[in-house]
């Protein structure tokens, strides 16, 4: 692709306001045929609004869109579809009770009139899935798959529609490294056929690995647009947050104390096999596993949300046996679950109510909530964690992802637990909020908490952990110490014994 390659998609002076707030202001962008443009920016920078405009879901206030030089009007999703613009959203869109094949071919099931040709359905579904998930059985119900694989199916479906422009909004948010790798290969192949790709992501690693050009949005305006070769990570981050972020990950001297959390012989079916490790006070132990490794199950079993078959959890020398969530909480274990909206928050409740969910005994006397104490605690937490909200009575669903995550974390802080189990604590939150969450984790460790950090982001695991454990096929397969290990070694160990 060169400067003479024709422009496929051109946005000129796009603006969109919600009420008095300008979500997108005067954005002009051009994507050439076969070009992969990464769109970066913090949450609320206007990326998703732009994606929705291209999907025809919301109308723009001013500006023009041209496809292959022709001005077009995107009135509704159907017209965007007809023009060949495919948008893959963060939020998934499938019928849970149908099979993978039915979902992939929804609305275009092959057959004779009303009679479906199931053989053809299976064959076509396999063809569509092949590039991303060759091993996936298309006739299992989609609901039986883990979320990440559902997302793979979703992406495969969108990619199989012939499109001139593909917009992807955080497509790898729930994918494992391997699946993300397959997705990138496919995206590159599509680009090679002339499709223009707008790739929205927080993850700078993948942006730099994949994109030809990076455009940065901040507060709805375009603040940078460079070829990948002409810019650096630091420059992109600075453009995104509007200030210098010297280090994404804080550096600290770690001085772990005595073992505080001990897991002994934890087993659950074929998913967890004899898991045993311990975490010392002030220590961050990173657990890295690919999709299906059982890391999510380990987290839930450790906290008692899933019942293990055998094993024991010991906190501060006192055995909980196999805990229940209630007992785990009282023993001083705090859990920040991976799925913020489904597992972390009661979305209908206010910030205050969500913040006191785990500390109700502390703010009540004989079962009666002491309102003043509750309000005081909530306000303190909001201030200390710098949760950006209009007030503690704001419904928590109104907050941005990063601030929601701080609420889930903040819920535990007032209880001063000694053990934190963090599952993907920075998934889907913007760079600025990530830095704050990392600082917070460091502070907790410095305060003497024993921390288990489960993450599928290797840089995060490598930079944050004092010790790294790899999990594969329900078994711990490796242990590494900080600084003495490379990304590849950890990855090899995580894949290592994944063969059945």
Partner 1 sequence: MPSADPPRSPIAGAAAGDTGIAPAAPPAAGVGDRTPRLSLGRFWDAGIGLLVVYAAIVVVFSRLSEFFFTKNNFLNIGVGVSILGIVAATQTMVIIARGFDLSVGSTVALAGVVTAEILNAGGSGVVAVACAVGVGAAVGLINGLLITVVRVNPLITTLATLSIVRGIAYVWTDALTRVFPGPDLRQLGIGRAFWDIPIPVLIMLAVFVIVWLTLQYTTFGRSLYAVGGNPRATLLAGIDVGRVQLTAYLLSGLSAGFAGAVLAAQLSAGSPQAATGLELNVVAAVVLGGASLAGGRGRVWGTLVGALIMETLRNGLVLTDVSSFYQMIAWGVVLLLAVVIDQLRRGDAS
The string of DSSP codes covering 94-155 is --TTSBHHHHHTTT---EETTEE-HHHHHHHHHHHHTTT-TT--TTSBGGGS-HHHHHHHHH
- Residue of the chain from 115, 368, 484, 499 that contacts partner 1 (CB under 8 A): 368
User: Which pair of tokens denotes residue 429?
Assistant: 């939150």
**Minimal distance, residue 223 CB to partner 1, in Å:** 29
| C-alpha span between 223 and 236 (Å, rounded) | 10
Instruction: Verify binding: residue 321, partner 1, rule CB under 8 A.
Output: no
Distance from the Cα of residue 429 to its chain's centroid: 7
Contacting residue, 49, 160, 201, 350, with partner 1 by CB under 8 A: 350
Give least dist CB 339 to partner 1, A: 9
Q: Please count the other Cβ atoms lying within 10 Å of the Cβ belonging to residue 447.
A: 12
Give the shortest CB-174-to-partner 1 separation in angstroms: 17
Beta-carbon contacts of residue 2 (< 8 Å; ≥ 6 apart): none
Instruction: Work out whether 394 is an interface residue with partner 1 (CB under 8 A).
Output: yes
Taking CB under 8 A as the rule, does residue 330 contact partner 1?
yes
Nearer to partner 1, 356 or 455 (CB): 356
Measured distance CA(410)–CA(395) in Å, rounded = 16
Q: Which residues contact 220 (CB under 8 A, 6 or more apart)?
A: 22, 23, 24, 25, 27, 45, 46, 49
Least gap, CB of 369 to partner 1 (angstroms): 6
Name the CA dihedral angle for 381, 384, 390, 396, rounded to a multiple of 10 degrees: -40
Which region among 24-32, 225-233, 259-267, 365-373 touches partner 1 (by CB under 8 A)? 365-373
349 lies in the site for partner 1, by CB under 8 A? yes
- Closest contact distance (angstroms) between CB of 324 and partner 1 is 7
Size of site (CB under 8 A) for partner 1: 38
DSSP 8-class letter at 6: P
Does 346 participate in binding partner 1 (rule CB under 8 A)?
yes
Query: Would you give the binding string for partner 1 spanning residues 197-226, x where CB under 8 A is met?
Result: ------------------------------
Q: If binding is defined by CB under 8 A, does position 271 make contact with partner 1?
A: no
380 near partner 1, judged by CB under 8 A:
no
Is residue 316 a contact residue for partner 1 (CB under 8 A)?
no
CA distances from 438 to 42, 120, 207, 442, 444 (A): 16, 50, 21, 6, 10
CB of 300 to partner 1, least distance (A): 8
The residue among 325 and 496 lying less far from partner 1, judged by its C-beta, is 325
Name the token pair of 31.
């994507």
Pairing of strands 36-40, 62-67: unpaired
Q: CA-CA distance, 123 to 139, in Å (whole number)? A: 11
C-beta of 364 vs 463, nearer to partner 1: 364
Report how far apart, in Å, the C-alpha atoms of 109 and of each of 104, 159, 298, 381 are. 9, 17, 39, 52
Q: With respect to partner 1, which residue has the nearer C-beta, 164 or 330?
A: 330
Here's the x/- map for partner 1, 399-438, by CB under 8 A: it reads as ------------x---------------------------
Give the span between the Cα atoms of 481 and 118, in whole angstroms.
52
If one asks whether residue 344 binds partner 1 (CB under 8 A), the answer comes out as yes
Beta-strand runs (E) in 382-425? 419-423
Q: At what angle do helices 118-129 and 147-160 cross, to 10 degrees?
A: 100
- Which window, 91-99, 204-212, 257-265, 329-337, contacts partner 1 (CB under 8 A)? 329-337
Q: Does 329 bind partner 1 (CB under 8 A)?
A: yes
Q: Please report whether residue 345 would count as binding partner 1 according to CB under 8 A.
A: yes
Q: Which of these segments, 143-151, 202-210, 288-296, 344-352, binds partner 1 (CB under 8 A)?
A: 344-352
Q: Which stretch binds partner 1 (CB under 8 A): 137-145, 218-226, 270-278, 368-376?
A: 368-376
Cα distances (angstroms) measured from residue 127 to each of 151, 164, 179, 184, 381: 17, 20, 17, 18, 51
Q: Which residues bind partner 1 (CB under 8 A)?
A: 303, 305, 324-326, 328-330, 335, 337, 342-350, 353, 356-358, 360-361, 364, 367-369, 371, 390-391, 393-395, 397-398, 411
């Amino acid at each position: 692709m060169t400067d003479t390659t024709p422009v496929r998609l051109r946005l000129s002076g796009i603006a969109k306001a919600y009420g008095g707030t300008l979500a997108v202001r005067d954005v002009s962008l051009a994507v050439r045929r076969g070009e992969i443009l990464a769109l970066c920016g913090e949450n609320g920078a206007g990326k998703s609004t732009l994606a929705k405009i291209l999907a025809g879901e919301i109308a723009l206030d001013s500006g023009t869109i041209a496809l292959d030089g022709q001005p077009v009007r995107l009135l509704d999703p159907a017209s965007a579809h007809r023009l060949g613009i495919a948008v893959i959203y963060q939020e998934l869109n499938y019928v849970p009770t149908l099979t993978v094949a039915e979902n992939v071919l929804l609305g275009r099931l092959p057959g004779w009139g009303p009679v479906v040709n199931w053989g053809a359905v299976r064959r076509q579904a396999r063809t569509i899935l092949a590039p991303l998930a060759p091993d996936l059985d298309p006739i299992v119900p989609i609901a039986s798959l883990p979320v990440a694989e559902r997302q793979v199916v979703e992406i495969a479906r969108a990619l199989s529609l012939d499109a001139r422009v593909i917009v992807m909004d955080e497509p790898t948010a729930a994918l494992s490294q391997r699946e993300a790798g397959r997705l990138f290969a496919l995206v590159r192949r599509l680009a090679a056929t002339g499709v223009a790709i707008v790739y929205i992501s927080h993850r700078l690693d993948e942006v730099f690995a994949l994109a030809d050009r990076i455009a940065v949005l901040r507060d709805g305006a375009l603040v940078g647009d460079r070829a990948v070769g002409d810019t650096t990570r630091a420059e992109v981050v600075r453009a995104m947050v509007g200030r210098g972020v010297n280090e994404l990950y804080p550096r600290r001297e770690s001085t772990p104390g005595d073992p505080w959390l001990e897991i002994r012989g934890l087993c659950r079916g074929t998913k967890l096999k004899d898991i045993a490790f311990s975490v010392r006070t002030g220590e961050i132990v990173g657990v890295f596993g690919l999709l299906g490794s059982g890391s999510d199950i380990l987290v839930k079993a450790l906290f008692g949300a899933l019942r293990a078959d055998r094993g024991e959890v010991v906190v501060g020398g006192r055995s909980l046996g196999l805990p229940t969530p209630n007992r785990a909480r009282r023993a001083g274990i705090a859990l920040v679950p991976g799925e913020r909206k489904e597992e972390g928050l009661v979305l209908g409740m206010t910030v205050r109510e969500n913040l006191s969910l785990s500390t109700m005994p502390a703010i009540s006397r004989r079962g009666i909530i002491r309102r003043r104490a509750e309000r005081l605690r909530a306000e303190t937490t909001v201030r200390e964690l710098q949760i950006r909200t209009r007030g503690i009575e704001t419904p928590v669903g109104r907050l941005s992802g990063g601030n929601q995550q701080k609420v889930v974390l903040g819920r535990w802080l007032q209880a001063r637990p000694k053990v934190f189990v963090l599952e993907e604590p920075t998934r889907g939150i913007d760079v600025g909020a990530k830095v704050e969450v990392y600082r917070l984790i460091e502070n907790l460790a410095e305060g003497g908490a024993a921390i288990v950090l489960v993450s599928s982001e290797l840089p995060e695991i490598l930079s944050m952990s004092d010790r790294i454990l790899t999990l594969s096929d329900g078994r711990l397969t490796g242990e590494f110490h900080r600084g003495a290990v490379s990304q590849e070694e950890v990855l090899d160990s995580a894949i290592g014994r994944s063969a059945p």
